[in-house]
A and B are shown apart, each in its own frame.
Chain A
Amino acid sequence: MSGSGSGSAPPRPKKPAVSPERTRRARRRFISSAMLLVGIVGTSLLGLLPVFRKRLKRLRPPGALDEEDFLASCIKCGQCLQVCPVSAIRLGDIDEGYGIGVPFIAAREQACDFSCEGVQCVSACPTGALTYEKPNFFPVREGAGLSRPPTLKAKAKEPEPEINLKERMGLARLTHPEACLAVQGKGFSGSAREAGFKGRMRYMEVDRWKPIPVNEHPYERKPCDLCVTECPVDDAIALEVFTGTDGSRRFRPVVREQCVGCGVCEMVCPVGLAAIEVEPRATWKAGNL
């Protein structure tokens, strides 16, 4: 650091007079250098804007530290993205400011279905921004921690059916109950999503290690219960019976404490705008919903 300032004006004992042109040039160079500094640093600080405006309400991959710590510790290398079998992880662009190159999951397009079973992205992370074991000095937000390790339905019959995940990524919420087919008392048949949808999922009855497009796996349900049956985690969501205003038997998906916020329910929800959505980083409160 010290060499920078003094370098511009070294004392010249042998040449007493410095030509005015030279002084002018030195001054001009100093000013333009200062402008370059201000310009670049100012531009880099623009990255704060999206962060401040909470534009970064992104669903982060499983095992992510709390948002501030996550942005700080992520080295933006994308190794988590490379190992995901369903390509659920994407990287932020420059419009996300300091979220550039930081992984997120757009659950409606492609949710994390835990088909890797080992939470590969966590293993791939070189900096511990995604981690199985959060160091003690990071506090766990109230309601972010899971009461017990989540059990994968796919591994239910195996000796160790749990995945190593201590905290939830978010929490599913029935944000548009009026749109929910089950609430309306309707069933569903056909492909879950609109034509051209590219999202993939692992179906145990098809192939355990090879996810297939969701649309290649049509459903026939009455009432519609895709969010419940497709949820990869045991005891995270269930249908509850209630009586509609017309006196008919209706159903409502109810999210439970084991919900990790992976977003599969949001991805498979067959109505135009998902009736159930994951709220990133939401925490569990007793009597949720």
Chain B
Amino acid sequence: MRRFKENFLCMLGAEPKKPEPGQVSEEVRRIMEIKRGDKTKSRIKEQLHERAHRQPCHTWRNWRWVVLAAVNLLFVLSFWLDIHILAGALTGSHFVGFHLIDLNAALQVMLAHKHIIVNLVIGTFTVFVFWLMFGGRSFCSWACPYHLVSELTEKIHLVLVRRKIVTDHEFHRGTRTVFWGLFVVLAFVTGYTVFETLSPVGILSRALIYGPGLALGWIFLLLLFEVFWSRRAWCRYVCPIGLTYGVVGTFSPLQVSYHVEECFHEGDCRKVCLVPHVLDVTIKGRATVVKTGLGPDCTRCGLCVDTCPTGALRFEVKGLSKLL
């Protein structure tokens, strides 16, 4: 429970804490002792050698891109081919008879409108249960079209950073929480769904389905900002949708789990991660138990799973490994 609370606060913007010596379990202490005792570093050397010859692995990323493209393509084709399997856009849709409503959009509408709308409640419930099962922010990396374009332009940013042309300007992660609150207040006070005006999720989803418009200019500006100023700024510091789904995924059984025994604390995972603070546990001396589930802010994108040379990070369904 303590870890749940800590992870949750960390998602809201708090810095991950270093564990007190008393909090580290006996087993982890023994594992760390063995790692320290390996004076010749033979095991590490072996691993490093292996890694030098390792082909980069993109299994999870490729799967994710396929799913993300398929979801958005299903929206597009449902309209274009008039097959109506998944009618609507990401903010609100209709999947073979089921209402599916984006949680944050529903919240905005109900606050602006100040009425409980039955269809919205039904639609959000379906979506809520789905993402509760499949891990909250998985919406971000497995369905959100902005995530994909942002992930692609991130590569440009990283090249520019490597060549020392730009530097990544970090903001306080708590900014997103403040945004969430502000947009809630704004919707309620103004009576308009203020956030939807800027929401790249809605804009991109509609642009894909109904054709491009001026709103894509805003997306372009956001991407410029992310390439030249701050890495993945929208997803990391702004997007209230991400936070909403993060909250939903707090108790989700689908997680990336970290196994300290296999880890060599090299930090490759944190370099590729959208939300590196969830991987703080991979820093030497941070793990308190043998197996740690990453916090709710994790988008389950699988980049760290692909990257980890030792297999210390893997997808897991909580409880299922015990059953099997």
Spell out A's residues near B (CB within 8 Å): 1-8, 10, 29-30, 32-33, 36-37, 40-41, 43-48, 51, 68-69, 71-79, 81-83, 91, 93-95, 97-98, 100-101, 124, 126-128, 135, 137
Contact = CB atoms under 8 A, between A and B. Distances in A.
A73 B177 contact: no
Interface stretch (B154-162, B203-211, B296-304): B203-211
A76 B193 CA distance: 10
B147 interface: no
Contacts of A97: 197
B225 to A, nearest CB: 9
Nearest to B196: A76
B206 A76 contact: yes
Interface stretch (B49-57, B101-109, B134-142, B315-323): B101-109
B182 A73 contact: no
Given A37-B179, A72-B109, A94-B197, 11 more contacts: A1-B177, A4-B175, A29-B171, A40-B238, A72-B113, A73-B115, A74-B109, A79-B94, A93-B213, A94-B217, A126-B120
B91 A76 contact: yes
Nearest to A47: B197
A36 B93 contact: no
A44 B186 contact: yes
B249 interface: no
A4 B12 contact: yes
A106 to B, nearest CB: 14
A94 B215 CA distance: 5
Given A5-B174, A40-B179, A126-B101, A10 B15 contact: yes
Contact of B192 (A47, A82, A135): A47
Contacts of A91: 206, 210
Contacts of B246: none
Given A30-B172, A40-B179, A3 B13 contact: yes
Contact of B214 (A3, A68, A93, A137): A93
By DSSP majority rule, is chain B's interface helix, strand, loop, or mixed?
helix
Given A44-B194, A77-B89, A7 B175 contact: no
A32 B169 contact: yes
Contacts, number: 184
B171 A48 contact: no
B91 A77 contact: yes
A48 B170 CA distance: 30
Q: In the A-B complex, list the 6 residue pairs whose CB atoms are closest, starting with the nearest.
A: A4-B174, A77-B92, A3-B12, A94-B215, A72-B112, A47-B197
Contact of B88 (A8, A30, A73, A78): A78
B119 interface: yes
Contacts of B113: 69, 72-73, 127
Nearest to A100: B197
Interface string B80-91: 000010011101
B19 interface: no
Contacts of B182: 37, 41
Nearest to A1: B181
B94 A37 contact: no
A1 B11 CA distance: 11
A145 B115 CA distance: 22
Interface in B60-118: 78-79, 84, 87-89, 91-94, 99, 101-102, 105-106, 109, 112-115, 117
A127 to B, nearest CB: 5
Contacts of A2: 12
Given A3-B9, A4-B178, A37-B179, A82 B170 contact: no
